[in-house]
Structure 1
Amino acid sequence: MNAENTTTDSEADVAERRVLVFDTTLRDGEQSPGFSMSRAQKLRMAHALEELGVDVIEAGFPIASDGDFESVRAIATEVRHARICGLARAQVNDIETAARALQPAAHARIHIFLATSPLHREHKLGMSKQQVVDTAASAIRRACELCDDVEFSAEDAIRTEPDYLAEVFSAAIQAGARTLNTPDTVGYTTPAEMYERIAYLRRHVRGVEQVVLSVHCHDDLGMSVANSLAAIAAGAGQAECTLLGIGERAGNASLEEIVMALRTRHDLYRARTGIRTERLQPTARLLANLVGATIPRNKAIVGENAFAHESGIHQHGVLKHRATYEIMRPEDVGCARSSLVLGKHSGRHALRDRLKTLGYTLDEAAFEDVFARFKALCDRKKEVHDGDLEALAVGRDPEAAGPWTLEHLHAASHLGGSASASVRLLHEDGRRVSEAAIGDGPVDAVLRSVARAVGCDLALHEFSIRALGEGGDAQGQATLSARHENRNLTGRGVSTDIVEAAALAVLEIVNRIEHSTQRVATALAANH
């Protein structure tokens, strides 16, 4: 037989397919340490994901908390084109809560999960095989009464017996599920195994031609993207992923890597997505700025070095013909060729144009606020770079703004000795409070003085600073994590003075605590 004509049934079926992108940045990604977001931040991110072109946005786990419920409901209310998904266990209360949260959605999906592997059946669920099948089918039927789009995930599917997984999926289809997800929950499998598992399911699941097969891979062994691509090659029609690959433990499969692999190697996968790839870098940078994270310089697709060439041989080759060392164009992922520098003589048009290039489209009021802060920053810096503009555009999380603001700050440190800091804070009710403290360093002293001024106990456990621009007058972004009453809270501050940036980060945490306290007091008053 001619080798060129040896095509399997599954390979023939996947020719020129449309693969759905299911983004779980706001659910699986957000629940990982260091990436938690407020409702306002989630809503902003959801709008960005819709502009990116994702098909499904998993907005959260509504039963998990009141905050998660309200975030899912807010996203369902405002995002009108992408399908909004809420996660639920195979329990009636979970499903009904998800349905209530999704009620305003133009396009809703309830995503039910139930473990199927021997380990989970025995040690977590205490269920027999038949009990798992019956529970899954019953939950799906209830969800179908409330929503016309139901997805079922077999948690730990990869470590589930293949014939039993096919049995569970067959029952799920009969109960009404429209999407069947095969998660590699603990990042255990390999690309070859994933290909074989999806191919097996396509052959043995009754009614599989009626549904979309999905895959959800974790990166514990560093193979989540490769496993997702193997599943697509075998016929999966949906990939579940997150921006920057954030998620539990080592993270999820990276959205931008899957999308660009399918685009760059279209000759191999013969599959396309609906992602507007020129929005990849701006959307990834928005996520990083919202949560105060740093994108690794060598991160594929969206990292600072992704299209940088230092080797003389590489530079020479790229200048002659960019395809010598670039397999994709920077413009295709939203990477600008140059970092435009603005200054105090730049006007509104130049600023608006650059913000749009960076992926920020602001309404008039928001733009005027950014322009005023841009001019103020120009008085402190000679040049304003893209990183500075992004920090201005992201702004402050509304839940971390006010009621306390910083009026005065003085900090000093002494070689071989302790550091000291004094602050004066202004409350929105007109109160002014001044305090001073000594600490192990200026940041610790600032934290102690702010905490003392507002009367709360904070335990600093993580602090990082990164430059947003170039030169000695570059702005620094301080990200600070502290613990208060068994809660981990994160604050972010930006300033040309890193100690001031740290003080602003502390204030964000203090304001989050105050807002939370006010909400609890309001709820208690309403109940009485």
Structure 2
Amino acid sequence: MRRIAIFDTTLRDGEQSPGASMNLSEKLDVARQLARLGVDVIEAGFPISSQGDFDAVRLVAEKITGPTIAGLCRVVPADIDRAGEALRPAAKRRIHTFIATSDIHLKHKLKKSRDEVLEMAVAGVKRARNFTDDVEFSAEDASRTDSDYLCQVVEAVIDAGATTVNIPDTVGYAVPLEFARLIATLRERVPNIDRCVLSVHCHNDLGLAVANSLAAIMAGAGQVECTINGIGERAGNAALEEVVMAINTRADQFQVSTQINTREIYRASRLVTDVTGIAVQPNKAVVGANAFAHEAGIHQHGVLQERTTYEIMSAQDVGIAESRLVLGKHSGRHAFEKRLHELGYTLSKEDLDRAFARFKELADKKKEIFDADLESIVADEVHSVPQEYSLEYMTVMAGLEGYPTATIRVRRGQSELVDAGLGVGTIDAVYKTIDKLLGIPHELVEYSVKSVTGGTDALAEVTVKVGADGRTYTGRGASLDVVEASAKAYMQALNKLVHYRATSARA
């Protein structure tokens, strides 16, 4: 059976989603989960774009084994050299170089002729081969490129040494039959096409990224580029979980396979949600909250009698298990660590200490602790940055009459900052008081809250996004009290803002 390579670009294209910025630690966590998932290639970043991206690619190249580690670069000598330097520690490395080939890009963006672009593409691939034998070339906006010219470019870059040639639907313009014909045309008309893996990279502007990717597989593509939860530029990319589960579920049609461990899919989805703050819509295929939920009576009866009456795949196949009581206030550290390991979390001693302290605090207040509670605790405690400011004390008052007030004490090093403030509601009062104490210019971009489990004693999970300096910073907080969770999330977002400003200044 033909095997399809899964090229994950969550850390590169996925991070281009507005507000999806990840710090180095978060990128490494995601990369580790992608390795557990079994992806063939991890595109770790665009090294020339910033020092942060270079450091991320370098760190992933140093720490992650198993998948090939890729770095993106234009067909520009400085870009290629920078990518080669960042990827040097990787056991298996790939330079992914690109240039646009459509006439609209040549005329308005590159301001170059077809011959000039062809020459640059060939030169870029040859230069990349100085760093590694594994070179991928992408013809940006391939789906809007003249097919004769595209065939010419593909043939030339293969002769120059490209081992993978990627055909992106960069702006999500193609439709499945058309895109399949394009892949078939390349396979028929490019004489040396058998010397490379033909890849596709589809965007979701018309909601067709997964459909186009699957159509390309049927037409002979050997690699699909995708992201966890389908995050990415504009409307996003092809969702890895949907591509893989379509291949698995309809093996009778596709007759191909991947090496993905599908039981790690949900864990990967949850992790990416935690570190980016981008929630998965409830009706999202495969990993949405409603993906395996049945409300209609007829459906419920059918599933109880025989699961396959209304489910074409099982929740367990993608790593979703029914939430169950796992621990209580008398549970010890060993049991806690063992259960986290079963859920797929491997924490450092410092992170484990913090998470266990939060667990014991929660267990004293909440009778039943579920897997979802543990996942929320880990996300709250582990995916953070050093705290320039720490929340030490908070009292909030509200009633049917009078003004909601908040009194807050924050510590910064050896200094204590205390103030009180009013608001139109309790959370507004808390946020306005924190703003007075910290004095950090920013804008609150987004606030959302959800219940982790059912019941009045459920953990509240709050996500906030703040904007400053043209960037968005995400904070998360979890607590039995929604006001406390809101304060924690706000403080985490502002600490990230301060941390990244300081990091940028040092760079």
Normalising by the smaller structure, the TM-score range is over 0.9
Cα RMSD between the aligned structures? 1.9
Partner of 2:491: 507
**CA distance in 2: counterparts of 1:490 and 1:385, whole angstroms:** 25
* 1:80-159 superposed matches below 5 A: 80-159=65-144
Partner of 1:182: 167
Q: What displacement does 1:483 show?
A: 2.4
Task: Read off the aligned partner of 1:469 and give its amino acid letter.
Answer: T
1:498 maps onto 2:476 in alignment: no
Task: Read off the aligned partner of 2:461 and give its amino acid letter.
Answer: Q
Unpaired segments ≥5 residues, structure 1: 1-15, 524-528
Partner of 1:27: 12
**CA distance in 2: counterparts of 1:346 and 1:248, whole angstroms:** 44
| TM-superposition CA deviations, 1:295-349 (whole Å, max 9, x none) | 2222111122222222222222222222222211222111113433533234445
Q: Match for 1:463 among 444, 447, 451? A: 447
Q: What displacement does 1:362 show?
A: 3.4
Partner of 2:231: 246
**CA distance in 1: counterparts of 2:248 and 2:13, whole angstroms:** 25
8 A contact 2:389–2:491 mirrored in 1: yes
Q: 1:130 to 1:485 in 2, by over 3 A?
A: closer
Q: 1:146 to 1:377 in 2, by over 3 A?
A: same
Task: Read off the aligned partner of 1:57 and give its amino acid letter.
Answer: I
Of residues 491-500 and 206-215 in structure 1, the stretch that sits farther from structure 2 once superposed is 491-500
Q: What displacement does 1:187 show?
A: 0.8
> What percentage of aligned pairs have identical amino acids?
50
| TM-superposition CA deviations, 1:443-500 (whole Å, max 9, x none) | 3332222222123223212111111121112111211122234432222211122221
| TM-superposition CA deviations, 1:25-57 (whole Å, max 9, x none) | 111111111322111100100000001000000
Partner of 2:463: 479
Q: What displacement does 1:383 show?
A: 2.0
Of residues 341-350 and 229-238 in structure 1, the stretch that sits farther from structure 2 once superposed is 341-350
SS of corresponding position for 1:152: strand
Q: Match for 1:376 among 346, 361, 374? A: 361
Q: What displacement does 1:229 show?
A: 0.5
Partner of 1:42: 27
1:400 maps onto 2:400 in alignment: no
* 1:202-351 superposed matches below 5 A: 202-340=187-325, 342-348=327-333, 350-351=335-336
8 A contact 1:259–1:273 mirrored in 2: yes
8 A contact 2:323–2:372 mirrored in 1: no
Task: Read off the aligned partner of 2:137 and give its amino acid letter.
Answer: F
8 A contact 1:63–1:69 mirrored in 2: yes
Q: What displacement does 1:417 show?
A: 7.1
**CA distance in 2: counterparts of 1:55 and 1:169, whole angstroms:** 23
**CA distance in 2: counterparts of 1:497 and 1:337, whole angstroms:** 25
Instruction: Give the TM-score normalised by structure 2.
Output: 0.95
**CA distance in 1: counterparts of 2:91 and 2:196, whole angstroms:** 21
**CA distance in 1: counterparts of 2:439 and 2:265, whole angstroms:** 43
**CA distance in 2: counterparts of 1:291 and 1:256, whole angstroms:** 17
| TM-superposition CA deviations, 1:47-101 (whole Å, max 9, x none) | 0000100000010111111111111111111001111111101111111111111
**CA distance in 1: counterparts of 2:289 and 2:474, whole angstroms:** 25
8 A contact 1:283–1:359 mirrored in 2: no
8 A contact 1:191–1:223 mirrored in 2: yes
**CA distance in 1: counterparts of 2:39 and 2:157, whole angstroms:** 25
SS of corresponding position for 2:466: strand
8 A contact 1:399–1:515 mirrored in 2: no
**CA distance in 2: counterparts of 1:522 and 1:152, whole angstroms:** 34
SS of corresponding position for 2:6: strand
8 A contact 1:59–1:72 mirrored in 2: yes
Task: Read off the aligned partner of 2:109 and give its amino acid letter.
Answer: K
Task: Read off the aligned partner of 1:145 and give its amino acid letter.
Answer: N
Q: Match for 1:447 among 405, 415, 431? A: 431
Partner of 1:10: none
Q: What displacement does 1:415 show?
A: 5.6
SS of corresponding position for 1:460: strand
8 A contact 1:463–1:480 mirrored in 2: yes
**CA distance in 2: counterparts of 1:478 and 1:272, whole angstroms:** 39
Partner of 1:5: none
Partner of 1:438: 422
SS of corresponding position for 1:30: helix
Instruction: Give the TM-score normalised by structure 1.
Output: 0.92
Aligned residue pairs, count: 507
**CA distance in 1: counterparts of 2:400 and 2:472, whole angstroms:** 32
SS of corresponding position for 2:129: helix
Q: 1:446 to 1:98 in 2, by over 3 A?
A: same
SS of corresponding position for 1:434: strand
**CA distance in 2: counterparts of 1:186 and 1:485, whole angstroms:** 27
Q: 1:417 to 1:177 in 2, by over 3 A?
A: farther
**CA distance in 2: counterparts of 1:62 and 1:513, whole angstroms:** 22
Q: 1:520 to 1:183 in 2, by over 3 A?
A: closer
8 A contact 1:298–1:306 mirrored in 2: yes
